[in-house]
Structure 1
Amino acid sequence: MPLLMLDLDNTLVDRDAAFREAVTAFLTEHRLPDTDLTWVMALDASGYTARHDVAAAMTDRYRDTVPTTAIHALLDHGAADRVVLADLSRAALDKAQADGWTCVIVTNGRTAQQEAKIRRTGLDQLVQGWAISEAVGRKKPEPEIFQAAADAVGASLAGAWVIGDSPHADIAGADALGLRSVWVSNRQPWAQDSYQPTHVAEDVATAIDYVITAAR
């Protein structure tokens, strides 16, 4: 069965929107300026800033107003408690499985947090497995995590596709392995010259539909 490897954050789920909601609630609860939302989101950088660096910066900024435990709770559970799976994405995954694809999530991040997102959204019922960098001990774009994902579902990387929003983690990772890929642009322009995705799509549902059609 063909293998479809999918990124989680800002691909299958809108992680940034969920984190933005969590930060907004955090600022309101602790009577902090609304304008700090922009600062926190920039600091977080869509989750690519190391958690301990975000925690240290927020602790320093709010040391006189917010308990450290509240900051850690935001970073550990804020996005995971609010992520949703769009109906179109759910339908696309159903279609892929009906068409014979084995679907597996490949994501960087901490195991507890990423598994909470997967289970909260019901993705655990829509994919055959997942590989999370903390558990694997390797992170995208390293080839070992993609191999671990294939191993998790008993599949081969031969003929596999990768779908993700990160040029570096997802598309460069696929390119290094000689795999076809779809970049989920989230309406951003492609800016890399040294490698290219096989296709560009605005969202994951469109990306999945493209892969299904291209493989027929």
Structure 2
Amino acid sequence: MPRRPVAEPSPPGLGFPSRPAAGRPGRGGRAARGQRLALFDLDDTLVDRRAALAATLMRFADRHHLTAEQHGAVLARLGERAAISDFQAIRTLYGLAAPAEELWTAYLADMAALSVCPAEVLDGLDELSSRGWRLGIATNGPADIQHAKLEATGIGRRIHGVGASGPVGFRKPDPRLFAAAAVSCGATVEDGGWMVGNDPVKDIHGGRLSGLHTLWIGAPSRWPAHLQAPDQYRSTALLAVRLLLDGTS
């Protein structure tokens, strides 16, 4: 029988190593002994991709005079991921005059402008970094759109590295994506750490395969019964960050 996610735990039981001296490590350098690693999923964990996508494609539909049915079809097509090839197909399907490169560039700009990371989460990332954590992003998606969102939201200024499936060549839950994300932070998964995300398979199962502790963003009652449960859970990214902070207070 798969074990269920644990109830809201007391932070001292997490088994964190002792707290290092405060001060943010240099970006890209090798993690010092005792520093901790936390990898975060980006879409629908640190930023609300669904809301940003809905607003972006409403702009797209208005800009190109799509019908409600066409708008719905585009939203369904781009629901999980988007690439310039999608806009090549959309351009052909709906007879749009703008070249695919222009459509893609506008999509990137709108997604970045409409993506938001709550200020409290950004503050929490700052605090984690000041306590010696190495912070990284492990995300499925092309580098251009993911980096655009990271910079627009302010997350990019608070992390040490990014592992994006486009340039890495592997997608979560492949352990090689998590390993690449850790290396980009100057760390290794062999040294341990945490993976925080909202997808049971891509984030939590993949993180566990990589040897990381796992922290799921979701309610225990919604955890798929056929999967091994995460080490911890919280309902929001803010509470997840606070859990990590409480473990190093």
Name the TM-score, length of structure 2 as normaliser. 0.74
TM-superposed deviation, 1:187? 10
Higher relative contact order (CA 8 A, sep 6+): 2
Secondary structure of the structure 1 residue equivalent to 2:214 = strand
1:150 to 182, 203, 218: 182
CA distance in 2 between counterparts of 1:37 and 1:195 reads 38
| Structure 2 equivalent of residue 205 of structure 1 | 238
CA distance in 1 between counterparts of 2:182 and 2:73 reads 38
| Structure 2 equivalent of residue 178 of structure 1 | 211
Name the TM-score, length of structure 1 as normaliser. 0.85
| Structure 1 equivalent of residue 45 of structure 2 | 11
Q: 1:53 to 1:186 in 2, by over 3 A?
A: farther
1:29 to 59, 63, 78: 63
| Structure 1 equivalent of residue 147 of structure 2 | 115
Q: Deviations over 1:70-111 (max 9, x none)?
A: 643454443123212211211211221222211111111111
Q: Deviations over 1:118-173 (max 9, x none)?
A: 11222221111212122222221111121112212222322300011222211111
Q: Deviations over 1:30-76 (max 9, x none)?
A: 222346544333322232xx63674366345422x564536434544
Residue 124 (1) aligns with residue 156 (2): yes
Computed over aligned residues only, the root mean square deviation of the Cα atoms, in angstroms, reads 2.6
Residue ranges of structure 2 left out of the alignment (5+ in a row): 1-34
Residue ranges of structure 1 left out of the alignment (5+ in a row): none
Larger Rg: 2
CA distance in 1 between counterparts of 2:123 and 2:165 reads 27
Matches within 5 A, 1:2-81: 2-34=36-68, 36-47=70-81, 51=83, 54-55=86-87, 58-59=90-91, 61-63=93-95, 67-69=98-100, 71-81=103-113
Secondary structure of the structure 1 residue equivalent to 2:230 = coil
Q: How many pairs are equivalent? A: 213
Secondary structure of the structure 2 residue equivalent to 1:140 = coil
Residue 162 (1) aligns with residue 195 (2): yes
| Structure 2 equivalent of residue 196 of structure 1 | 229
Q: Provide the identity percentage.
A: 28
Q: 1:17 to 1:102 in 2, by over 3 A?
A: same
Task: Tell me if structure 2 keeps the 8 A contact 1:160–1:179.
Answer: yes
- Identify which range, 108-117 or 28-37, moves more after superposition: 28-37
